[in-house]
Amino acid sequence: MKSGRVFGLSAFFGVIIILMAIRVIFFKGPMAPVTSLPPRNLVDMHCHTAGFGAGGSGARVSESLRNSWKFGLYLKIFGTSKAEVEEKGDGIVMDVIVRSINESEFVDDVVILAMDAPYDTAGELDEKAIEVFVPNRFVGEEVKSRKGLHFGASVHPNRKDALEELEWSKKNGAVFVKWLPNIQGIDPSDERYRGYYLKMVELDLPLLTHVGDEDSFSKTDNALGDPKLLKLALECGVRIIAAHVASSGEREGVENIERLLEMMPEFPNLFADLSTLTQANRCKYFPQVLNDERLTGRLMYGTDYPLTNTLMVTALQFPLRLTCRQMWNIVRTKNSWDRDVKLKAALGCSAEVFELSRGFLKL
């Protein structure tokens, strides 16, 4: 019995020593040169909120999502619970965000994203297709009374009142318009959107749009995430931020990230954000994103909060990039934004990337 335990212990330590030796041999260090400490006073331009209509917000989630195990988990990573939201209203999610950025060492401002409902080509709201709906009126009004929060509007271009809604959004402080084409049923290349795009240019409203595949929802049309579909809007002069640098999926045998990057030289009005690039399923693209010259001056910092609060985003995924001390320091950082900034900075994200969005969004 005793000798069995001794053997077990020595085998365990043997494995640890082998793993440590492998790590020393293969250690690569950061993905790009780390030149300075991360700057302060940052803007996170990609932050979600949630709600299910509590307190009269008008927000909605589908019955199937509400009944699934995912729902409680989503609220948990938002730092709240169903009971608390029911009691205090959907605005509580934004209160948690305000508290967190007040405590953050690096991030002072966040853009909260609305999420418009799907509309059909006749301009009718497609009730049955709604999975998550976060109305402009709710986000636009709620951010006004919360310091550090800004309005990211969402206007479906099929809406009959789309142009009026863009105008309302701009008047009410929107810093850009957000789309999730794969879920909202938007084909960005639709010629009928030319007037919508020209209105965006006139109002100086950029477009933050999801590009690449999307897998957080139960139904998705990933053909609509093809970066090439953005050409019409770019030709109209819209400033576009491609979310996550299109780092998922492929079309016509070419990865979406590459389809996006090859458009960068042709369109100086095309930008990209760094949100979710540290997530387990996307981090293989991170070294390329930090080093590709086509993204110089065109890449901006964002989180995709609250996804930064999941186990899919942990410094422990990078044992060949970060020292043990760095991993420990990042893992024990409680603040969601600080943890994200420290991780991206340690991996090689430059001050220029962290700071781009404040000037771009004129905040």
92: left (phi over 0), alpha (psi -120 to 50) or beta: alpha
Instruction: Round to whole Å and give the CA distance between 73 and 93.
Output: 14
Rg over CA atoms, the chain: 22
- Candidates 33-41, 57-65, 297-305, 329-337; binding stretch for Zn ion (CB under 5 A): 297-305
Per CB under 5 A, 213 contacts Zn ion: no
Shortest distance, position 168 Cβ to Zn ion, whole Å: 23
- C-beta closer to Zn ion: residue 216 or 296: 216
Give the range of 89-97, 138-146, 301-309, 315-323 binding Zn ion by CB under 5 A.
301-309
In the complex, least distance from residue 172 CB atom to Zn ion, rounded to whole angstroms: 21
Residue of this chain nearest to Zn ion (CB atom): 304
Closest C-alpha among 298, 299, 297, 304 to residue 286: 299
Q: Which two tokens stand for residue 111?
A: 């853009």
Kindly identify the residues of this chain, within the stretch 23-62, that bind Zn ion according to CB under 5 A. Answer: none
Stretch that binds Zn ion, among 13-21, 30-38, 146-154, 298-306 (CB under 5 A): 298-306
Q: How many CB atoms lie within 10 A of CB 66?
A: 13
Please report, as a single letter, which amino acid is at residue 163. Answer: L
From candidates 304, 338, 340, 355, binder to Zn ion by CB under 5 A: 304
Structural contact between residues 341 and 42, judged by C-beta atoms closer than 8 angstroms: yes
CB distance 346 to 113 below 8 Å? no
Taking the complex as a whole, how short is the minimal distance between the CB of residue 155 and Zn ion, in angstroms?
17
Whole-number minimum distance, CB 180 to Zn ion, in Å?
A: 8
- Segment interacting with Zn ion (CB under 5 A) among 37-45, 87-95, 250-258, 303-311: 303-311
Question: Cα–chain-centroid distance for residue 162?
Answer: 24
* Shortest Cβ 184–Zn ion spacing (Å): 13
What is the rounded CA–CA span in Å between residue 2 and residue 239? 69
Residues near Zn ion (CB under 5 A) are: 304
